[in-house]
Structure 1
């Protein structure tokens, strides 16, 4: 039995499984985790594209349903807003992992 976090759909949209925790107290372990995270930084661009496409799709569906004057458009606008938050999170992570003195 596999959990949802091991599924392909989860890994397609969420990138946390690619990175290591850099909040350990041991200096060498923290340095190794930061180096590993910087090495995997380039994967964030693929996740960023996926979330942008999903946000645009949700905005488009919200606009289409709004034309028919149905309240279901609120659901798609809410999902698009949540996607926008994730886009900002991925962008900030990509920028900070690109800095030299981390």
Structure 2
């Protein structure tokens, strides 16, 4: 088995796009198969939500600690911004998971 480079593993740890197939390609049967595959892979999306929530809380706490202990609001911004960016990523991931669970497949 071939080992993946560290940056590829890091990307796959935080972003889930590599798990899914394009449902807009191919004929009707290929699109339906891709949809079924994507629905099966959706089981991993709550894991990605947990990862992003954990990183968001971690960076928020780190920003708060830097702001209080070092009395440096400018330096704490370096931690608050990644924390704030984790919120929309978590929301999009949760919406994708709900959509794959609730929406009917392609016709």
CA pair 84-100 structure 1, distance change in 2 beyond 3 A = closer
**CA–CA distance in structure 1, aligned partners of residues 31 and 42 of structure 2:** 16
Alignment of 1:53-92 (within 5 A): 53-67=54-68, 68-70=70-72, 71-92=74-95
Q: Which runs of 4+ in 1 moved over 6 A?
A: 2-5
- Number of residue pairs matched? 100
**CA–CA distance in structure 2, aligned partners of residues 92 and 16 of structure 1:** 14
Q: Which runs of 5+ in 1 are unaligned?
A: none
1:18 aligns with 19
The structure whose residues are more often helix, as a share, is 2
Two-structure CA RMSD over aligned residues (Å): 1.7
How far residue 11 of structure 1 moved from its aligned partner, in angstroms, is 1.0
How far residue 48 of structure 1 moved from its aligned partner, in angstroms, is 0.9
How far residue 95 of structure 1 moved from its aligned partner, in angstroms, is 0.3
2:53 aligns with 52
Q: TM-score when scaled to structure 1?
A: 0.88
Q: Which runs of 5+ in 2 are unaligned?
A: none
3-state DSSP of counterpart to 1:69: coil
Q: TM-score when scaled to structure 2?
A: 0.84
